Structures are given as C-alpha cells and as structure tokens.
Amino acid sequence: MQNTRKPVQLRLRPNNVRPTAKQRQYGILFLISLWYLFPASARGEDTAAWQRNAGRLSQIVHDLCKHLQISDNVEIQVDDHNDKMVSSQPLVGSIRGYRISFDRQFLLTLNDDEIIAAVAHELGHVWIFSHHPYLQTEELANEIAMRVVDRETMKKVYTKLWAQTGNVGNLEKLLGPDSKKAIPKTATVMP
C-alpha cells in the first residue's frame, strides 16, 4: 500500500460522477470516477456485478472522505494490474486531486470491511499529502485510517496484501502497538 508519485500510463474510459451544486454548497467536492481498461464482458465477467462494485467503491470513498474530513477530489479506479495492489497518488495535470488504484485480483480477495480499510489507508496518504506532505509514511497513513477502521481489519488487509506480493512487514511497526495487549490483566483474588 505504499504511495507513489510516479505517474502511470492509463487508457481511460471516463465515467465521471460530478458533484452536485448541493455538494459544492456544503464545501464538499467529490469527483469520483471509475474506469475499466477493458469491457468486463470481454473477460467473461458479470458486467452488472462490476457496475454494482463500482457504485459501492464510490460510496465507500465518499463516506470515508466525509468521516476523515477530506474535501479533495478523489478518484478511484480498478486496474488489471497494480504491483502495489493498492496505491494512491496526486493527479497529474490541471485537475487538483488524487487517484486511488486497486489491483483487480487483489480487490476480489477483500471483503467489504477490508475494502473500506484499504481505502481508508490510501485516504490516509491523501490526508497527509494535503496537510503534511513531507511526513508521508505508512505508519501515519494507518494512524489516520484507524480513526475510522479497527486494527484487526487492517491486519487482515496486510495479511492478504502480503500473500499477493510475497513481502512481509512488521505489523507492530506499521499499526503501532496493540493497545489490547498493553492492558494489564487484573489479578484474580480467591475468596
């Protein structure tokens, strides 16, 4: 889930959902776009199911931006291949904003809660980019994500991420110490 500033080559079929005047009025500007590099039907996938997933991803980004008080434009897309499995980067060009990219196969391994956790982590990077760009770390992105998702779910995402990439990291370092473990056990006093 390492962030990157490196631009990627994209062949895009834009399907922008533009913010309504009402959203602008409330100062929340979301530009959530989903693109597919190839028609899903060409790979024998269920197009309707993918469209439902696209709508669900948009909703997740929208809700998490609200909870994390992120008002930047955030696009999310599913790519056929992303070496990092999921990543975020500032948009290149005149439109200010950020893009989150999921590897299609990795996305399929995640349940709803884990997708939310992965998106929250990437939005953690977005938050850092727009607040403290020189403090960009995995640990801080997780700290921000864990304002809205629990540690256990973040652990499951990392387990699935590492299963895909073959890398293994230090969960205690990435997620901080487990506060549950830090709670001292109370002594049992026999009557």
Applying CB under 5 A, the residues found at the interface with Zn ion are 1, 138, 141
The rounded distance, in Å, linking the Cα atoms of 30 and 153 is 26
Closer to Zn ion by Cβ: residue 30 or 129: 129
Phi, psi of 88, rounded to the nearest 5 degrees = -140, 155
- Our CA angle for 79, 57, 68, nearest 5°, is 115
* Residue with Cβ nearer Zn ion (34 or 122): 122
Please, which residues have CB within 8 angstroms of residue 142's CB and are 6 or more apart in sequence? 121, 124, 154, 174, 175, 176
Q: Which pair of structure tokens corresponds to residue 142?
A: 């997780």
Comparison of 54 and 141: residue with beta carbon closer to Zn ion: 141
Q: How far is the CB of 155 from Zn ion (least distance, A)?
A: 15
Q: Which helix (H) or strand (E) holds 100?
A: strand 98-103
Whose CB is nearest to Zn ion?
1
- For the bound state, the minimum distance from the C-beta of residue 141 to Zn ion, rounded and expressed in Å, comes to 5
Minimum CB separation of residue 136 from Zn ion in Å reads: 9
Q: What is the C-alpha to C-alpha distance for residues 154 and 175, in angstroms, rounded to an integer?
A: 8
Our CB check for Zn ion shows the closer of 64 and 141 to be 141
What per-residue string of b and e applies to 43-74 under the rule 16 or more CB within 10 Å gives b?
eeeeeeebeebbeebbebbbebbeebebebbb
CB of 121 to Zn ion, least distance (A): 6
Looking at the Cβ atoms of 1 and 74, the one nearer to Zn ion is 1
- Please state the closest distance from residue 84 (CB atom) to Zn ion, in A: 8
